[in-house]
Amino acid sequence: MRKKQHSEDNSIFAKGSMMKLSGRCALVIGGSAGLGRASAEACAAEGASVMIADINDKAGTDTVAAIREAGGSASFIHTDGTDDAAVKAAVDETVAQFGGVDILVNSIGGNEGRSGDAGWHLSIDLFLKSSYYACKYAIPEMEKRGGGSVINVASIAGVTGSTATDVMTTGYACAKHGVVGLTRTLALAYAKKNIRVNVICPGYFKTDMTVSLHGKEDGGLAHINENLRVPMGRWGEPREIGTVAAFLASDDSSFITGQPIVVDGGFMAR
């Protein structure tokens, strides 16, 4: 018989000793919306105190309010993830408020909105440099705590080539490949210091970045089934990344490091 997956309580928060991240502190860069918010909420649901660092103040404070309303602990700091000094300030504030950093989630999203060389460089800044800055400042704090878990968020575009028609003017796939490389490099460098570094590679998920596709009258199902041919026949939900992030943050994944975790409904298995 399969065990029950959910308790009768409708709260997303576990009870007492069941919380897998109790006493831990998480910094989520890009945690105000989409996959970042889902990751922040999932870590908070498992008992972590969560610092939301994002450039979107309104969405960030809304996320904090939602976590607190559900019984969790969270704060917000305005952070431009492409600014080295701002990312350092976010790490410092996490330490000041919560006592340290045990978990780092790098999940900056956004549509670059530029073409040509400017668009390529902006993609690198948004998706690769931001992860580097956060790791640069958060990992030393993890060393002080005797270990930790870094969860970068890349894309299936980080493990395959890009099919973008403007491939020469978009750095998206290049940046995501870079995040996978950064992840593996840091995993090797810090394995003996009990710091694990993994990267989630999402497929097609319902976020603001993809609303032009899933926001259609059919919910984007034609695109999923006829154009992309995703085997599971549906869009991914942000919470399905959040639960993976919480798993990678917990001791349940204690022997997993340096891995790209593909979450794509079977897309890459074809």
Query: Percentages helix, strand, coil for the chain, rounded to the nearest 5?
Result: 50, 15, 35
Cα-Cα-Cα-Cα dihedral sign, residues 234, 131, 31, 146 = positive
**What is the C-alpha to C-alpha distance for residues 235 and 217, in angstroms, rounded to an integer?**
14
Close Cβ partners of 34 (under 8 Å, ≥ 6 residues apart): 107, 109, 205, 207, 208, 209, 238
DSSP-assigned beta bridge partners for residue 263: 202
Going by C-alpha positions, the residue among 125, 113, 111, 109 that lies closest to residue 202 is: 109
Contacts of 5 (CB under 8 A, 6+ apart): none
Active site annotation includes 190: no
Catalytic residue (choose from 133, 137, 172, 190): 172
What is the rounded distance in angstroms from the CA atom of residue 221 to the CA atom of residue 213? 9
Whether 102 and 55 have beta carbons less than 8 Å apart is answered as: no
Residue 123: count other Cβ atoms within 10 Å of its Cβ: 23
- Helical axes 84-98 vs 130-145, angle rounded to 10°: 30
> Do β-strands 25-29 and 148-153 pair in parallel, antiparallel, or remain unpaired?
unpaired
| CB neighbour list of residue 2: distance below 8 Å, 6 or more residues apart | none
Residues tagged active-site: 172
